[in-house]
Structure 1
Amino acid sequence: QLNLNVVAAEKSWASARDRWTEIQKDLDRLTAKKSDLERTLAERTLHLEQTENGFLQQLREKDFPDETAFRNACLPELERKQLTEAARCLADEQADLESRARATQKRLEEEQAKQLTQEPVENLRQTLEDALARQKALQQDIGAIRQKLDNNNALKRRQAERLQAIEAQTRESGRWDRLHELIGSADGKKFRNFAQGLTFELMIGHANRQLQKMTDRYLLVRDKDQPLELNVMDNYQAGEIRSTKNLSGGESFLVSLSLALGLSQMSSRNVRVDSLFLDEGFGTLDEESLDTALETLAGLQQEGKLIGVISHVGALRERIPTQIQVTPRSGGRSALSGPGCSAGSQRN
């Protein structure tokens, strides 16, 4: 414990010594600074005394008994500045006048030395009057020409404004011409085709989304030559464009189903379509296409839509749990049986 105390005391002593050294350095700096300030103060005191003595000597030379008399005789600062500025302006003006006078005198001496003519003064005066008359006439002509130029500039400005208006009207007319080329016709057929094309394009988009759920092979596209006709892009044939007329029965059914679903989705924006009835068409489907179509319809049913299928395909009866049977009777009548049908219901 004693050793620890000794070590701590030594560290404390070393720290105190370092601190004392720093304080001693600060004291030396302050002492030197004090000496510099005292020397500067002595010099400035001596300078002040000399300046004050000189100032008093000048006061006595100017017949001022003391500083108070001098201050009373001084002008106000603002007036003194104004007078100083006025004196400077007068001095500049005098210098300018003297310079102009010297230049004028020099030019006069040069003109007198030339002796350009021997004509009498009267003749020169008459010549001068004639020249002044011609100058006046020329000035009048110049004024008339300037007026014409002003009028011409005003006409040019109005012409430029008219050209701008014509260009704006031409652009507007061109816009209407292009619109007319696209959808304008006397019988309205172009516009109908254009509007139907927009709706058709929208329906194709909805139909393609439904078709993608059933098969990844086909994509519906518009015919380039007949914009309101449909073609299909066969992704299994490197994107070959085919006519819908060349599709098999099963393929045609899938395309027709996708178009019907797309159309119902478009109609649902304004009118809620909760029911969809399909009449036949399943007999042309193979087993895989039939499964795809039924899965699509099952998905619509889960979305809350009522799906009705009218078909003679026996395989459907095994896959559709809710059925209404139509049994032919004599006399052109049929009997209905199933959920929601009363016993013995008959229809013509």
Structure 2
Amino acid sequence: MEAEVLRQKTAAASAHSRQEALQNQLDQLRTALRYPDRRQATAQREALARQKEALRQSLEEARTAFSACQNRHAALEGSMQRLSVLLQSMPAVDAGQESGRKAALETDKQQKTAALRLIQTRLDANTAARRNLDRQARRLAQLEERLQWVAALSDTANGKLAGKEKIMLETYVQMTFFDRIIRRANLRFLVMSGGQYELKRRVGAGSTRGQSGLELDVIDHYNGTERSVRSLSGGESFKASLSLALGLSDEIQSSAGGIRLEAMFVDEGFGSLDEESLQQAIQALARLTEGDRLVGIISHVSELKTRIDKQILVTKDKSGGSRVDILA
């Protein structure tokens, strides 16, 4: 039994010695390792694997580039051989002749350079002129457009529009006042003509080729017709003229801001009137004298002497002079 215990102790001591030896050997091996643990070693191994792959790709690229260079080298070698053959077959170069050609080419180059500068200068000048012409053309187009507008306005103001009545702006304004004068004149003309005639401005022009707008027509209320005022007889024309003169006088007084015509003279025309027309004209003139207005009649008609109270008689003498008598 003791022998067995001794043997076991001896075995344990031997095992302990081997354990210490193994532990020392393990410590030495750990000291010899480049990485302290497995994680760092694995990371390093993966990094080395990536580096290896990059180096492999670089190697493939280098092999491809090397192959391309070899092909290029072979092509250049072939070109060199062909050029060498051509060079051997070329005649000898005369240096003096080539120098002369070079000088001639340099001179030609200088001439062409000078010509190019001249052309460039002309091109710049022409370009500037073209830009100026374009600006002038645009300005001209604007002026032409304005001219068309002004011409249309001028044609309108001067009554020159094609296919329209030839009524100038001045005539158009006159037409407005003329209508007012006619309305006042008709108050007299209806009385003088016994209600037969009435004046009317012609609205429609007979032709678009002539100026229009101030022509007069007369309405005959006896037969319901309308005709030109030129168709009136001498006495009727006198009545119409007198009515217009009176209408103008009335319109001036109405629109002239308080101006009053205190005197009016009628020269001749009474000799063309018959007895009834003469009576109507005198009655119309007599009504004008109301309100301290002076109406003078210049006439040689003897019938007027018995109808007018206040007269100025002018008598011609045989000696060549004249005599004035006032009858009040």
Category of TM-score, reference length = shorter chain: 0.3 to 0.5
Which one has the bigger helix percentage? 1
TM-score by length of 2: 0.46
TM-score by length of 1: 0.43
| Structure exhibiting the larger radius of gyration computed from Cα positions | 2
Greater relative contact order, per chain length (Cα 8 Å cut-off, separation 6+):
2
